[in-house]
Amino acid sequence: MRQWVELLGEPIRTRALSKTMTMMKSRIDFAYMAVFVLAFLSTVALFPVWKSHHAAVHAFVELLCVLFSLSGFLITWILFEKGTPGSHLFGFGFLSIGLFTFFHIFAFLGLFSSPIDRHDLTVRYWIMERIVEAMVILSASEGISIRLNRWVWLSITLLGTLSISLALLAYPGLFPITFLEGQGSTPAKMLIELMITGLFLFCLILQLEQKPVKRSGYKRYVLLALLLALPVGLLSAGFMSMLSFDGLLIHILKVFYYALLFMGLFVNMITEPHRELSMASERFLKIFHSSPASISIVSIDGYRYIDVNGAWEKLTGYSREEVIGKSQRDFICLDQEIHRAIANRPVQNIMGVFTTKAGEIREGLITTEVTELDGVPCLIYATIDVTEKNKFERELSRLDRLDLVGQMAAGIGHEIRNPLTTVRGFLQLFGAKKGMEGYGEYFDLMISELDRANEIITEFLSLAKNKPKQVKIQDMNQIISSLHPLLMAQAFKRDQQLITELGNVAALALDEHEIRQLLLNLVNNAFDAMEKGGTVTIQTYSEGDQVILAVCDEGTGIAKEIQSQIGIPFFTTKDYGTGLGLATCYTIAERHHGRIDYQTGPEGTTFYVAFPSAEKRERTADEGDRSGESGYGAENSRMERAS
């Protein structure tokens, strides 16, 4: 190939893309030499048979060319809708070439009754093959796009090919004499062959100048075919006899470059599209299964799972093998209201509730799309789990409202309590005067209501963030033990039971008064949540570097619809509740750097309060001090450098 490229001259080498040459040069060099040597050796092996059975060998070789031509046409016909205009041109060009080759064979065998010498008529059909080959490859190399219906293509191809073939038979003078047996090619044939060879050379130049394409295998075969077509043209321009070695070599080279053109078309329409489809399928599967969003594909008919990705398995707890081929109704993952909202149509980001295999209820943003897979209407579900996000947002909302209430408590709590104290004192004074004995019952009622209001204000003031604390290192179990008689008395009064299970826990930095208030609120809520005969259990235990206080009741659990409002100030389910008890507990836990969580169900509810150990709080404080000193030192250094 190096010699052929050098013939193109320096201008062509500068225009051709160096990247293309680098990628293809080594492969084409080796392939061209291998094909040419194989063609030459085949010619040497067949030459004795060629001389003795010339007609049979000629017909066999040309029929191989017909086989490749018609195979290329059939591929184009079958895959017409998926093909490009360039591949259509190649395929129907193959049909025309195959028909001309048939006429070429029949003429060589003397099956036509014509005043033209059979060798001359044979060469005329040969030349028509070559012209169609060159024009088809040239049109494809120039990127000429002709968009026609397949039947229009077929009609034009058959009409044109048969018209020219019959015209060559019916009108001997239509074409100059091209070949004389014993004398060889005429000047007219030499000129025509050289012109056709020039077209092939021009096609080769265009192919070399084109930028690399995805389907590079197709281009490699076309380049090899063009490189073989050049010596065929040069040899056929001047060979002297049909029985010569050159005549057989020409036909063998023709078979090879027809095979290469067929392979190029096969790669372009079958091999490369299949490879691209496989790669696209592999990319889709990688994206589908590695997507962080939970995705499932469900058939609309029967709502059977077709496929699910890894995020869906992780989110729901079901494995892919458990659900594929089974209906959504068998798992009851999605709420029925969500099914009704989707109703087999595309939706965008609707909030849905679904249940995992473990029975956990989670929330998600659901988007669906309707599509068809292998002719089956399907729904694609994409779900983003927002359970933690919603929980975090609700917690932030609760803390914002708690902060507002705390600020209000700090600002107006004392201002309200002072006049109440005054009113209470005057009520007691008036109740002690003579003549007021008949109103004692009313005075007592007013005083008790004022005391109740004072208790509410006391709880209200406990929400203030700036409330002073009297923190000291002490044992949580001792605080619980000191409250135990009071709690037992309340349990006895309610005909309920109280059990304490106190573990060996580390000492904590606690405000005893606030912890007593927190424990009383939690235990009273537990008593209120149960019927007579129920049992409240108080537990303490260590979990890592935290101490856990747990208060467990045997009630009916917290209703699902109010769980999001737990801890919000003034929210209560009690007839005479203030809605400040749990809000106060959350504030006390926050002031002790702890957190409150709960588990609820039909068997009861357990509230957990996690307190950091004293050692952990000291470590956190030390780290904060060091970071503060580091920042202060850095600031001093900056000031010193600035000065």
pLDDT in tens, 275-297: 888 888 888 888 888 888 889 89
pLDDT bin (cut points 50, 70, 90) of residue 637 is very low
Q: What is the pLDDT of residue 643?
A: 30
Question: Is the confidence at residue 459, as pLDDT, over 70?
Answer: no
Q: What is the pLDDT of residue 636?
A: 39
Is the model more confident about 211 or about 38?
38
**Mean pLDDT lowest among 235-249, 345-359, 427-441:** 427-441
Average pLDDT on 294-321 reads: 88
Q: What is the pLDDT of residue 374?
A: 81
Over residues 480-506, the pLDDT tens digits come to 998 888 888 888 888 999 999 999 998
Taking a C-beta distance cutoff of 8 angstroms, is the pair 308, 296 a contact?
yes
Is the model more confident about 593 or about 578?
593
CB neighbours (10 Å) of residue 130?
Answer: 24
Question: Is the confidence at residue 264, as pLDDT, over 50?
Answer: yes
Question: Is the confidence at residue 247, as pLDDT, over 80?
Answer: yes
Tell which CATH classification among 1.20.1070, 1.10.10, 1.20.120, 2.40.30 matches the domain 21-277. Answer: 1.20.1070
Location of structure tokens 């609707």: 350
Q: What is the pLDDT of residue 482?
A: 87
Please tell me the CATH code under which domain 471-623 is placed. 3.30.565.10
Q: What is the pLDDT of residue 345?
A: 82
| Burial (0-12, 13-18, 19+ Cβ within 10 Å), 434 | exposed
Which range in 78-87, 369-378, 534-543 is most confidently predicted, on average pLDDT? 534-543
Residue among 227, 230, 259 at smallest CA distance from 29? 227
Token pair belonging to 48: 């004795």
Q: What ranges do the domains of the chain cover?
A: 21-277, 289-388, 390-464, 471-623
Taking a C-beta distance cutoff of 8 angstroms, is the pair 275, 218 a contact?
no
Is the model more confident about 400 or about 430?
430
Q: What is the pLDDT of residue 633?
A: 39
Portion of the chain with pLDDT greater than 90, in percent: 20
Please tell me the CATH code under which domain 289-388 is placed. 3.30.450.20
Which one-letter amino acid corresponds to residue 196?
I
Question: Is the confidence at residue 555, as pLDDT, over 70?
Answer: yes
Q: What is the pLDDT of residue 259?
A: 92
* Sign of CA pseudo-dihedral 476, 478, 483, 487: positive
Q: Rounded distance, CA 368 to CA 391, Å?
A: 24
- Counting DSSP H helices and E strands in the chain, the numbers are 20, 14
Residue among 136, 113, 109, 140 at smallest CA distance from 122? 109
Q: What is the pLDDT of residue 615?
A: 67
pLDDT bin (cut points 50, 70, 90) of residue 630 is very low
pLDDT bin (cut points 50, 70, 90) of residue 154 is very high
pLDDT bin (cut points 50, 70, 90) of residue 44 is very high
Average pLDDT on 562-572 reads: 73
Is the model more confident about 36 or about 1?
36
Question: Is the confidence at residue 376, as pLDDT, over 60?
Answer: yes
Is the model more confident about 145 or about 492?
492
Q: The domain at 390-464 falls in which architecture?
A: Orthogonal Bundle (1.10)
Average pLDDT on 138-153 reads: 84
pLDDT bin (cut points 50, 70, 90) of residue 640 is very low
Q: Rounded distance, CA 358 to CA 118, Å?
A: 88
Written as one string, the DSSP assignment of 530-559 is S-TT-EEEEEEEEETTEEEEEEE--S----
Question: Is the confidence at residue 188, as pLDDT, over 60?
Answer: yes
Taking a C-beta distance cutoff of 8 angstroms, is the pair 566, 582 a contact?
yes
Over residues 82-121, the pLDDT tens digits come to 888 888 888 999 999 999 999 999 988 888 877 788 888 8
Question: Is the confidence at residue 309, as pLDDT, over 60?
Answer: yes
Average pLDDT on 529-551 reads: 91
Q: What is the pLDDT of residue 95?
A: 94
pTM: 0.54
Question: Is the confidence at residue 71, as pLDDT, over 90?
Answer: yes
Between helix 387-432 and helix 440-461 the angle, nearest 10°, is 150
Question: Is the confidence at residue 194, as pLDDT, over 70?
Answer: yes
Q: What is the mean pLDDT of the chain?
A: 81
Question: Is the confidence at residue 465, as pLDDT, over 60?
Answer: no
